[in-house]
Chain A
């Protein structure tokens, strides 16, 4: 079946079987930042944004995302120009093996899109669907705070620039 949708802002038509899981289809199409972890919606390694909200791509039938918008990690920043959240994860030492990192970055992006200055409890709540088995969570929470601070600074800069 053909599934029209947007991936990372680009309109596409995916070819998928009616029973195929979105994660498998995305990876086949080259979006390999979303990982297979538990396959049961626990670990968050497969996280993508569906219309801006983090979801488990391993629990979603591809045929049910018709006409919706998917954001994968490939749509966040670029290799030569990282997104501030990605920079913050590197600078805070919140990355070790990296398998879970795309999921954390996307969950953070959704959080900061709605809550630019989250409290620590809000950060932990927003990341409750993402597991890391290397670094622990302290540095990840630090990274989200750092990203929020930098992105808030950038927003303020843009506002001041606009006011001049």
Chain B
């Protein structure tokens, strides 16, 4: 029982939702699956506005990239044929590893993006893939890059009159590869650490760009500048990838949690980051050799 919640509203469209949020001045929170509200309600919130009637449950794929409506469930993303063929199934694969089936059927991508946990999977992928968040408010929509979105906890800076409408993952260029790796104690528990890598190769097979994000070290996912610097313009040799992973973890802060120490996480993260880079470059390399055979 969440005694704090005194009312649930059912707005029929975006206009009604925005009116409710505006009038509520932080008292009314937009809600998708509502999972996080079942066990914790933010301090000021006492009413909820269900977003279900807004029709934000579609996944579309076009030249610009993959677009996820805020109300797409994690299970819906995991089983989407469109998501499966986008970036080698990066998003679909990561979604399939979020918690368990019974959770994935409830949790929405919008809620999952905003209510962060230290083990959250998809925010790490969003950062590496340079995803864009469309945040709608009374004065229109604003687009935020994932890095900006996760600079601090979204709940601390999102205006109470705003909600997430869509997440777009931009289409990758040629010779691109991506991978998500996570380490957890059993198949369906939360990640101890995770890493997502999105890379591109130039025509000569050298690294043109690399985006590496680490998760699990602390609440917010962390992009690594140093990994990108270590890799740019270089051949992705095993030694270079090891150096890049070590550089990424070296510049990141880690916090212990109830399961493991910070030092253990750092050691683990070095391995997980290297594996993500290896897989991403292997995928990019396969694209490149496909190009040269074409």
Whether the Cβ atoms of A128 and B105 lie closer than 8 Å is no
Closest to A127 in B: B101
Q: Please name all residues of chain A whose beta carbon is closer than 8 Å to the beta carbon of B34 when the two chains form the complex.
A: 60-61, 64
Residues of A in contact, count (CB < 8 Å): 31
Q: Please name all residues of chain B whose beta carbon is closer than 8 Å to the beta carbon of A66 when the two chains form the complex.
A: 10, 50
Whether the Cβ atoms of A41 and B5 lie closer than 8 Å is no
Distance in Å: Cβ of B37 to nearest Cβ of chain A? 6
Whether the Cβ atoms of B2 and A61 lie closer than 8 Å is yes
Whether the Cβ atoms of B4 and A53 lie closer than 8 Å is no
Closest to B6 in A: A18
Distance in Å: Cβ of A1 to nearest Cβ of chain B? 7
- In the complex, B138 has a CB within 8 A of chain A: no
Distance in Å: Cβ of B73 to nearest Cβ of chain A? 8
Report Cα–Cα, A128/B98, bound state, in Å: 11
Distance in Å: Cβ of B74 to nearest Cβ of chain A? 12
Q: Please name all residues of chain B whose beta carbon is closer than 8 Å to the beta carbon of A107 when the two chains form the complex.
A: 101-102
Whether the Cβ atoms of B102 and A61 lie closer than 8 Å is no
Report Cα–Cα, A1/B37, bound state, in Å: 18
Q: Please name all residues of chain B whose beta carbon is closer than 8 Å to the beta carbon of A61 when the two chains form the complex.
A: 2, 5, 8, 34, 37-38, 48
Q: Please name all residues of chain A whose beta carbon is closer than 8 Å to the beta carbon of B101 when the two chains form the complex.
A: 54, 107, 125-129
Report Cα–Cα, A14/B35, bound state, in Å: 20
Whether the Cβ atoms of A18 and B39 lie closer than 8 Å is no
Q: Please name all residues of chain A whose beta carbon is closer than 8 Å to the beta carbon of B33 when the two chains form the complex.
A: 60, 64
- In the complex, A63 has a CB within 8 A of chain B: yes
Whether the Cβ atoms of B105 and A53 lie closer than 8 Å is yes
Whether the Cβ atoms of B187 and A128 lie closer than 8 Å is yes
Whether the Cβ atoms of B50 and A64 lie closer than 8 Å is yes
Whether the Cβ atoms of A21 and B38 lie closer than 8 Å is yes
Residues 42 to 82 of chain A near chain B (Cβ within 8 Å): 42, 44, 47, 50, 53-56, 58-61, 63-64, 66
- In the complex, B43 has a CB within 8 A of chain A: no
- In the complex, B31 has a CB within 8 A of chain A: yes
Whether the Cβ atoms of B7 and A41 lie closer than 8 Å is no
Q: Please name all residues of chain B whose beta carbon is closer than 8 Å to the beta carbon of A54 when the two chains form the complex.
A: 101-102, 105
Contact (A18, B5) CB under 8 Å given A47-B102, A59-B106: yes
13 pairs of residues in contact across A and B, judged by CB atoms under 8 Å:
A18-B8, A19-B3, A19-B6, A21-B1, A53-B75, A53-B105, A60-B34, A64-B8, A64-B52, A66-B10, A128-B187, A128-B188, A129-B99
